[in-house]
Amino acid sequence: MTAPDVVQGLDLEALRTWLDAEAPGELPGALSASLITGGKSNLTYAVTNGERDVIVRRPPLGHVLATAHDMGREHRVMAALAGTAVPVPRMIAECTDESVIGAKFYVMERMSGTAFQRAKDLEVIGAERTRAVTERLVDTLADLHAVDYEAVGLGDFGRPDGYLTRQVARWKKQLDSSRSREIEGIDELAERLTSSVPATSESTIVHGDYRLDNVLVDTEDGDRITTVLDWEMSTLGDPLTDVAVMLAYQHLALSAGPSSGQVTDAPQAPGYLSPDEVVDRYAARSGRDVSELGFHLGLAYFKLAVILEGIYFRHAAGQTVGSGFDGIGAMIDPLVQHGLHATSK
């Protein structure tokens, strides 16, 4: 067999040998791969033998923070959620040996569906269908938070006690690990969060980066959500952090102009639930009190700012793969200002 080409970050010949040993017969024959664009953290590849596709996930190239990009975490939570109300792909195999392709990785089933990142793509399906899709997005999050994590084998997946305090400390540490320039207000936001951590009365599985373009929607099958993706920040903790992240992306999109370069402008689409409707629907579905979200929103903005600063750091060092990184640095100041506003109330 002729040796396959090496795709940046994924040695297909090494992958072929490893698959033959760990998942024989799963994807036989010569392999080709393409980087799926849109992800600016872990790298996602579509790998095919010409008849069937699978997905391979691995960490980014270079400057991988110690507590981020945990392949085992992603693999474990999706494997545990199989059979619950939360749609996830079938896990095929996991590799913890970094010598195979230069990093830990896992292989999973490729699911059908569209990741709606842009408002213009939702406009194609119309306002009525867009509203139904975003209702399902909220319902799926509530369903995730309803999963009994002990029953699915995730009792040791995180440490719920002190979760919010550790989150603030973690993202401050991540910021320090990626500092390459001054960012006005970000240290003030960190201090506000440190001094105002609320008590947490309930813990669930949390996704960590929940938004519309992190799910796939099958527009050929009733606009159902076929899978929830990008679990690298999942853990056990306060479910309102997921609600706040979803709202933070939405507030950013709604406060920016069209085509402003935001991570997603999907919430600008006609029919997309308003922030108040998102909160009300989640409260009704989950039964939780969501009346006080100031701290959680502040933490969400801080976390997103730190994540983007890490991506900016890697991009400036030439360690990112794919397109769409230009302008990342300019997105961070608005996040900080939104975070300061949320925590000033």
Say whether both 94 and 126 belong to one domain: no
Residues whose CB is less than 8 angstroms from the CB of residue 23 and which lie 6 or more positions away in sequence, other chains included:
92, 93, 107
Say whether both 149 and 222 belong to one domain: yes
**Structural domain includes residue 5:** no
Average pLDDT of the residues of the chain = 88
Q: What is the pLDDT of residue 324?
A: 52
Q: What is the pLDDT of residue 63?
A: 45
Mean pLDDT of 112-125: 96
Q: With a cut of 80, say whether residue 230 has pLDDT above it.
A: yes
Whole-structure pTM value: 0.87
Residue 138, CA distances (Å) to 45, 91, 278, 324 in order: 27, 24, 7, 27
**Identity (one letter) of the amino acid at 190?**
A
Mean pLDDT of 291-300: 94
Say whether both 208 and 287 belong to one domain: yes
**Identity (one letter) of the amino acid at 155?**
G
**Structure-block tokens of residue 92:** 């095929």
Residue 100 sits in a domain whose CATH number is 3.30.200.20
Residue 282, CA distances (Å) to 134, 141, 278 in order: 11, 8, 6
Q: What is the pLDDT of residue 8?
A: 83
Q: Which of 109, 138, 153 is the last residue of a domain?
A: 109
Q: Give the chain's domain count.
A: 2
Mean pLDDT of 313-327: 54
Ranges of H-type helices in 184-293: 186-194, 240-255, 275-286
Q: Which residue has the tokens 């030439």?
A: 318
Q: What is the pLDDT of residue 66?
A: 47
Q: Which of 60, 90, 109 is the last residue of a domain?
A: 109
Say whether both 257 and 141 belong to one domain: yes
- With bands split at pLDDT 50, 70 and 90, how would you rate the model's confidence at 143? very high
Say whether both 102 and 182 belong to one domain: no
**Structural domain includes residue 243:** yes
Q: With a cut of 80, say whether residue 16 has pLDDT above it.
A: yes
Which stretch of DSSP H or E encloses residue 35?
strand 32-35
**Structural domain includes residue 223:** yes
**β-strand pairing of 215-218 with 204-206:** unpaired
Which stretch of DSSP H or E encloses residue 225?
strand 224-228
Residue 224 sits in a domain whose CATH number is 3.90.1200.10
**Structural domain includes residue 114:** no
Residues whose CB is less than 8 angstroms from the CB of residue 324 and which lie 6 or more positions away in sequence, other chains included:
37, 38, 40
Q: What is the pLDDT of residue 190?
A: 95
Regarding predicted confidence, which is higher, 150 or 255?
150
Q: Which of 62, 83, 109 is the last residue of a domain?
A: 109
Say whether both 143 and 71 belong to one domain: no
Say whether both 129 and 61 belong to one domain: no
Q: For residues 280 and 138, give the distance between their C-alpha atoms in angstroms, rounded to a whole number.
A: 10
Identify the domain containing residue 92 by its residue range. Answer: 12-109
Say whether both 255 and 149 belong to one domain: yes
User: For residue 251, which of 239, 270, 267, 269 has the smallest C-alpha distance?
Assistant: 267
Bridge partners, 94 (sequence order):
106
Q: What is the pLDDT of residue 50?
A: 95
Say whether both 37 and 164 belong to one domain: no
Contact call for residues 30 and 49 (beta carbons, < 8 A): yes
- With bands split at pLDDT 50, 70 and 90, how would you rate the model's confidence at 311? confident
Secondary-structure percent of the chain, ordered helix, strand, coil, rounded to 5: 40, 15, 45
**Structural domain includes residue 4:** no
Say whether both 149 and 99 belong to one domain: no
Q: With a cut of 90, say whether residue 285 has pLDDT above it.
A: yes
**Structural domain includes residue 3:** no
**Structural domain includes residue 7:** no
Say whether both 130 and 79 belong to one domain: no
Ranges of H-type helices in 62-126: 71-81, 119-125
**Structure-block tokens of residue 333:** 């100041």
Say whether both 40 and 142 belong to one domain: no
Half-sphere exposure of 297 (CA within 13 A, CB side): 22
**Degrees to nearest 5, angle at CA 48 with 45 and 51:** 150
